[in-house]
Amino acid sequence: MNFADQTVLARDFATMAALIWLLSRIGRLIEKALSALPSRTSSAWDDALLPVAGKAARLLLPILALILGVEALSRPADVRALLQTALSLTLIATAAFLLYRCVQAVEELVLQRHHPESLSRLRAELQPAASVLQSG
């Protein structure tokens, strides 16, 4: 690898690092803004879901920067394809984690609104209907 190739590689990685840093900072700002927003509203839904949306921005923007940065790398096509595949899998795993967090947030909201004693009473009322459906 000659000096010109090393210079191009260093420039590519510096550009990717700057892009990752920039989008990470933007993600943190979005998360901070979204975390402060529920305190100004009266809805319980935004109290539960806006922090998750902020976390989504904080996690997904750097991955987006990596995906864009890999395209800018002057590496062989097979290396770029491998990196793209790895980053796509990372993006899918992050999206699944965030979806799980959304479900947890909604679960907590439902449990806050409905006391466990009312849920046990509801289960007791629905139990005969469930047993009829299971036996039928």
Express each pLDDT in 15-70 by its tens digit. 888 888 999 999 999 999 988 887 777 777 777 888 888 889 999 999 988 888 88
Q: What is the separation of C-alpha 67 from the centre of its chain, rounded to a whole number of angstroms?
A: 15
pLDDT of residue 30: 92
**Does residue 104 contact residue 49 with C-beta atoms inside 8 Å?**
no
**Number of domain units in the chain:** 1
Counting residues of the chain whose pLDDT is more than 70, the rounded percentage is: 87
Residue with tokens 């260093």: 10
pLDDT of residue 34: 86
Please say if the pLDDT value at position 136 is more than 60. no
Of 66 and 112, the one with more pLDDT:
66
Of 28 and 2, the one with more pLDDT:
28
Looking at residue 67, its amino acid is I
Q: Which domain holds residue 82?
A: 3-135
Which token pair is 8? 């191009």
Phi, psi values for residue 76, rounded to 5°: -60, 155
Residue with tokens 């009312």: 118
pLDDT of residue 9: 79
Rounded to an integer, the average pLDDT of 1-7 is 78
Q: What is the chain's mean pLDDT, rounded?
A: 82
Terminal CA-to-CA distance of the chain, rounded, Å? 74
Residue with tokens 């609104």: 113
